[in-house]
Chains A and B, each alone.
Chain A
Amino acid sequence: MITARALSRTFQTRTGTVEAVRGIELDVAAGEIVGFLGPNGAGKTTTLRMLTTLLVPTAGEATVAGCDLRRDPVGVRRQIGYVAQGGAAYAEALAGEELVDQARLYGLPAARAAEQARILFTQLDLDGLWKRTCKSLSGGQRRRLDIALGLVHSPALVFLDEPSTGLDPQSRANLWNHIRRLREDLGTTVFLTTHYLDEADALCDRVLVIDHGTIVAAGSPEELKRSINGDAVLLTLADRAHAEDARRIVAALEDAGSPATDGNQVQVRVPHGASVLPGLLRDLDAHGIGLAAVEVRRPTLDDVFLSVTGRSLRDDSLVA
């Protein structure tokens, strides 16, 4: 559905040349939900704007939905939907009219445009909001209207730029269901950007991690997390005097990383945290080491990001 080779974009600014995207390689299959994960300024939106024909690449080639990005931008536009980060509905306009007009701009005849808009209103739980001005909609409703605006011509591929930014948890969960349904009900391919790890984790078949304009890691959320050396096992000891003994025992576990000790807590990474736990607990017990708590933490995408970029996504002051 998307193939991009060495796609690049540089911007000339007063202070010099900025390489926003440096030679990105992308392959997205039909029916996939792919997430583009990275901090602000990593090049996510620039890549998306190139793939949606809003920005001409300075170098590289791409085929989007069967059409060449450079030679047939109108063909690309016919096949794709784009939902921008900042929304797309005009505050003073009526929700229903915005949707019908958008459909008309895609070339739908008036009657079909209205029909399609009604269907989308129902599908995206916007019933009853047709005659409301866009400014009077709630954040979640407005976001769903933005998505409807991107879907009004039934595209085979839809790009969502930061779809859930600024929504409350309930609206986010609701939005995620709508995005999943796009694929399940309509077979739509979804390409989304996010800086929320839980969003990538919950929605995406595959995640591409982007930093400083290049893709630094790619894989399913599971694969990426597995690439971190396993799970973290965190022991909280009843008595901190046993910390050194506990450290020696966990260090001896098969394929264990080097343990870290902090007060009465000992942490170690092992490939399969849950399966070493029973043996570990017996060992600790045999050495007379009492435990206050045990935790096995599966790696998060934040760990992935940290391991490939050396920085935490949370450095961006974004809550995962």
Chain B
Amino acid sequence: MNLLRETWVVFVRALRLSLRNPVWVVIGLIQPLLYLALFGPLLKRVVEAAPSLPPGDAWKIFVPGLLVQLGVFGTSFVGFGLIAEYRAGVIERMRVTTAHRVALLGGRMLRDVLVLLVQAVLLTAVAIPFGLRTSVSGALLGVATVGLLGAAFSALSYAAALRLKSEDALAPLLNGIAIPLLLLSGILLPMTLAPTWLQRLSDLNPVKHIVDGLRALFRGDVASTATMWGLVDTIGLLVIGLYVGTRTFRRESA
């Protein structure tokens, strides 16, 4: 019970700070909208010309990809904020209170997931006038999956930040992990277009299966194997994220 209450206090504080300086939230929102406006029309042509693409029109392929990108990239960089708080002595100050240390992680993760969900809903809504036609339940399940994915990457980002305690070390680490994950996920173009060796490689990437799962959801194939594997991989990542995150926050002198 205390853990929930403390998590709530940390969540409200973090959310207040985000709302007071919403520039990052806005930038995080504008980025996918730029993809939608500037890359979407290009993709439409590609999809029309490529018969090997999965069923569904261009927007049903593209919007789920953007959502996953938002979930991975949008939350991977939350660790920078934590380093700033660490520098200011905030983390240490909270660690000498009686609050559960997992609450310090959980409250911040909740904030990140909430911000992400708002961005994801907006992105999906804006895609409708561009031409997205999808079922409400599929889209909602897709957005919810992205929320869980964001929670996983938020936890991993905070864990990395708290271990490294340096922006200079965190930035290359995050780019080094996030960029290959995204390139091998078929976010921009489905991996069915790739040569066999690249497809095999991308099969090892959980993010790819999550993108596939999301695309199935947006097509309305809620009960497909693609959906199931997407969800399994998302929950797998979340479990890893929570394990690493809570371990890091409970460590001494973290």
Q: Which residues of A contact B (CB under 8 A)?
A: 49, 52-56, 74, 77-78, 80-82, 84, 86-93, 97, 101-102, 104-107, 146, 149-150, 153
Q: Which of A52, A56, A146, A149 has the most C-beta atoms of chain B within 10 angstroms of its own C-beta?
A: A149
Hey, which chain A residues are within 8 Å of B20, CB to CB? 92
Number of A-B residue pairs having CB atoms within 8 Å of each other in the complex: 76
Which residues of chain B come closer than 8 Å to A88, judged between CB atoms?
Answer: 88-90, 92-93
Cα(A105)–Cα(B102), bound, Å: 12
Candidate in B9, B85, B94, B252 with the most chain A CB atoms within 10 angstroms: B9
Which B residues are closer than 8 A to A by beta carbons?
2, 6, 9-10, 12-13, 16-17, 20-21, 84-85, 87-90, 92-99, 103, 252-253
Q: Answer whether A55 and B252 are a contact pair too, CB < 8 Å, given A78-B98, A97-B13, A105-B99.
A: yes
Contact indicator A105/B253 (Cβ below 8 Å):
no
Question: What are 14 A-B contacts with C-beta separation under 8 Å?
Answer: A54-B95, A74-B98, A82-B93, A84-B92, A88-B92, A92-B20, A93-B13, A101-B9, A102-B97, A105-B9, A105-B94, A106-B97, A107-B99, A150-B93
Given A54-B253, A93-B16, 4 new contacts (CB under 8 A): A89-B88, A97-B16, A102-B93, A102-B97
Grouping DSSP codes into helix (H, G, I), strand (E, B) and loop, the B interface class, with mixed when no group exceeds half, is helix
| B252–A56 CB distance below 8 A | yes
A100 to nearest B CB, angstroms?
Answer: 9
User: Is there contact, CB below 8 Å, between A92 and B89?
Assistant: no
> Contact partner of B2 among A81, A93, A107, A150, CB < 8 A?
A107
A86 / chain B contacts, CB cutoff of 8 Å: 87-89
User: Are A93 and B98 in touch, CB under 8 angstroms?
Assistant: no
**Could you tell me if A84 and B252 are in contact, using CB atoms closer than 8 angstroms?**
no
Task: Please give, as numbers and ranges, the residues of chain A lying within 8 Å of B2 by CB-CB distance.
Answer: 107
A106-B97, A106-B99 in contact; A90/B92 too (CB < 8 A)? no
A56 to B253, CA, bound (A): 8
- In the complex the two chains form, what is the Cα distance from A251 to B5 in whole Å? 73
User: Is B6 touching A54 in the complex (CB atoms < 8 A)?
Assistant: no
Which chain B residues border A77 with CB–CB below 8 Å?
96-98
User: In the complex, A153 Cα to B99 Cα: how many Å?
Assistant: 12
Known contacts A93-B17, A97-B16; A82/B96 CB under 8 A: yes
| B88 close to A90 (CB less than 8 A) | yes
